[in-house]
């Protein structure tokens, strides 16, 4: 009798367990959430964390704020997005940070993909752009680090893809090199004239990029997050850009645009032709020592951002350059040494940002001297005289504060004295790039 009762209890408990399991499964499989967004309806189905988002109806999807889509609470569980035919746009930030998203269907009714539409969709590997799409917004595929291919319908009148890389139809604008591509090198096609904002960024596999002579404009943000990149090579015939040892400059080397983050050198001396260090130029580099020449007058925000290995900066400017706190964003500058000219120590200790370094005077100043030149009168409204103690001036170039090379007027070279007529220039600050037999130097001049 006891055995029979025991069996009954076991049977009842087993049935109860089966009932609970069935209820839980039915609750999971029955998960559904939805509503309306503009003229459209949306529905989430599936079992978390593998949900399918379906958007249907006729008309435009609204634009959303960064975290404003109605399905934002589920961004970590949405793995598939199905957009039904009839939806005409993908709104701004529609699938922003859907980091589990692996698949999206874009129908031929869609004509526009908004800014940030697939921002940080890290698991997305493939996007197919139909022939109907006429507009793709900024940052549409930003930080899609798993994306290996963007395929464009051959009948699309506005966009084109080669090997999964997105261009405009004429292939004059490089829009997006998918960050998840595994190629170690890339040669930009010689039809390309413009490389867009973040077009080549967060490409962890890229070691080298070759820029053809056709390229006229490279956005400052290009190559951001390309941590393995060690060489950017520019065609010698390019009229706007140049490279030395894989480092990207403008043609005259007055602007340093990008020091590749994958270069493993421990120290670097910026050429004394450089006037401007651009935004993000040294971002995430491995350098522990950087020398800034006295030719530099502008250091843009985030220039040395995330340079975590940086321990020492040598700054040869007699006077501190005004910089934003964000120039060394992410760098513990209180643990870094700043070496300056002995007679400039007090000025740097009073200067915002620079004063937060451990400031020391330079030992062995002779190693940092440049050809001895005297320029006068300065300021002037017409003629400049350049005298040298030992070396004859061999050539002179003049640049405005943006680094743009300007046409020269009359230049008269004599033995150790050179005369320059700058009367044709408007009032303002300019930079002379002076080559002598002893080397090169940059000097500031003020036109009245």
Q: Which pLDDT tens digit goes with each residue over 174-188?
A: 999 999 999 999 999
Percent of the chain with pLDDT over 70: 88
pLDDT of amino acid 14? 52
pLDDT of amino acid 120? 97
Residues 365, 314: Cα–Cα separation, whole Å: 11
Confidence label for 12 from pLDDT (cuts 50, 70 and 90): low
**Pick from 166, 208, 207, 174: which is nearest to 190 by CA?**
174
Tens digit of each residue's pLDDT (9 = 90 or more) over 131-147: 999 999 999 999 999 99
pLDDT of amino acid 312? 96
Could you tell me if 239 and 252 are in contact, meaning their C-beta atoms sit under 8 angstroms apart?
Answer: no
Residue 5 zone, left/alpha/beta (φ > 0; ψ -120 to 50; rest): alpha
Kindly give, in sequence order, each residue whose CB lies less than 8 Å from that of residue 142, ignoring residues fewer than 6 positions away: 116, 119, 120, 198, 201
Listed range (78-82, 339-343, 350-354, 384-388) with the worst mean pLDDT? 384-388
Helix (H, G, I), strand (E, B) or coil at 365: helix
Phi, psi dihedrals of residue 249, rounded to the nearest 5°: -130, 170
Residues 320, 317: Cα–Cα separation, whole Å: 6
Cα dihedral 178→161→111→224 (10° resolution): 30
Q: What distances in angstroms separate CA 145 from CA 93, 126, 237, 308, 401, one per listed residue?
A: 17, 11, 33, 22, 37
Percent of the chain with pLDDT over 90: 72
pLDDT value at 230 more than 70? yes
Q: What is the largest CA-CA distance in the chain?
A: 124
pLDDT value at 446 more than 50? yes
β-strand partners of 32: 45
Confidence label for 6 from pLDDT (cuts 50, 70 and 90): very low
Tens digit of each residue's pLDDT (9 = 90 or more) over 93-112: 999 999 999 999 999 999 99
Phi, psi dihedrals of residue 139, rounded to the nearest 5°: 60, 20
Q: Secondary structure of the chain: what % helix, strand, coil (to 5)? A: 10, 35, 55
pLDDT value at 421 more than 70? yes
Give me the domains of the chain, ranges plus CATH numbers. 265-369 (3.80.10.10), 370-447 (2.60.40.10)
CA angle 421, 427, 431 (to 5 degrees): 65
pLDDT of amino acid 44? 97
Listed range (19-33, 207-221, 411-425) with the worst mean pLDDT? 19-33
**Pick from 345, 301, 283: which is nearest to 320 by CA?**
345
Q: Which residue has the higher pLDDT, 334 or 19?
A: 334
Kindly give, in sequence order, each residue whose CB lies less than 8 Å from that of residue 5, ignoring residues fewer than 6 positions away: none
pLDDT of amino acid 393? 79
Tens digit of each residue's pLDDT (9 = 90 or more) over 53-75: 999 999 999 999 989 999 999 99
* Span 267-277, average pLDDT: 94
pLDDT value at 159 more than 70? yes
pLDDT value at 22 more than 70? no
Confidence label for 443 from pLDDT (cuts 50, 70 and 90): confident
Tens digit of each residue's pLDDT (9 = 90 or more) over 193-216: 999 999 999 999 999 999 999 999
Confidence label for 438 from pLDDT (cuts 50, 70 and 90): low
pLDDT of amino acid 432? 81
Confidence label for 363 from pLDDT (cuts 50, 70 and 90): low
pLDDT of amino acid 196? 96
**Pick from 356, 345, 279, 350: which is nearest to 315 by CA?**
345
């Amino acid at each position: 009798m006891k055995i029979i009762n025991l069996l009954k209890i076991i049977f009842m408990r087993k049935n109860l367990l089966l009932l609970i399991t069935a209820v839980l499964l039915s609750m999971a499989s029955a998960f559904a959430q939805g509503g309306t967004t503009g003229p459209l309806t949306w529905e989430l189905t599936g079992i978390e964390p593998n949900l399918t988002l379906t958007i249907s109806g006729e008309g435009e999807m609204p634009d959303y704020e960064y975290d404003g889509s109605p399905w934002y609470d589920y961004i970590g569980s949405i793995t598939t997005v199905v957009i039904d035919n009839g939806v005409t746009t993908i709104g701004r930030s529609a699938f922003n940070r859907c980091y589990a998203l692996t698949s999206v269907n874009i129908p031929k009714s869609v004509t526009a993909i908004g800014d940030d539409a697939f921002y940080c969709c890290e698991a997305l590997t493939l996007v197919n752009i139909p022939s109907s799409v006429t507009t793709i917004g900024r940052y549409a595929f930003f930080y899609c680090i798993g994306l290996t291919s963007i395929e464009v319908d051959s009948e699309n009148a506005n966009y084109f893809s080669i090997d999964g890389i997105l261009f405009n139809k004429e292939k004059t604008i490089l829009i997006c090199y998918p960050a998840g591509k595994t190629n170690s090198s890339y040669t930009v096609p010689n039809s390309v004239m413009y490389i867009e904002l973040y077009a080549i960024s967060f490409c962890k596999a890229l070691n080298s990029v070759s820029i053809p002579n056709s390229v006229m404009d490279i956005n400052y943000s290009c190559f951001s997050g390309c941590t393995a990149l060690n060489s950017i090579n520019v065609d010698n015939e390019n009229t706007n850009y140049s490279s030395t040892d894989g480092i990207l400059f403008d043609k005259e080397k007055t602007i340093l645009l990008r020091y590749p983050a994958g270069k493993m050198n421990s120290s670097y001396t910026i050429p004394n032709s450089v006037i401007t260090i651009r935004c993000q130029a040294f971002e995430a580099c491995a350098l522990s020592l950087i020398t800034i020449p006295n030719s530099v007058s502008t250091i843009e925000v985030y220039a040395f951002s995330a340079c975590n290995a940086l321990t020492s900066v040598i700054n040869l400017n007699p006077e501190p350059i005004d910089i934003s706190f964000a120039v060394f964003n992410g760098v513990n500058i209180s643990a870094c040494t700043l070496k300056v000219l002995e007679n400039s120590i007090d000025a740097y200790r009073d200067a915002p940002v620079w004063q937060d370094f451990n400031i020391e005077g330079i030992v062995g100043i002779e190693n940092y001297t440049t050809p001895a030149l005297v320029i006068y009168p300065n300021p002037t409204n017409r003629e400049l005289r350049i005298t040298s103690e030992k070396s004859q001036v061999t050539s002179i170039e003049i640049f405005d504060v943006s680094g743009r090379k300007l046409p020269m007027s009359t230049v008269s070279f004599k033995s150790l004295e050179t005369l320059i007529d700058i009367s044709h220039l408007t009032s303002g600050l300019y930079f002379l790039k002076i080559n002598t037999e002893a080397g090169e130097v940059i000097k500031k001049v003020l036109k009245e």
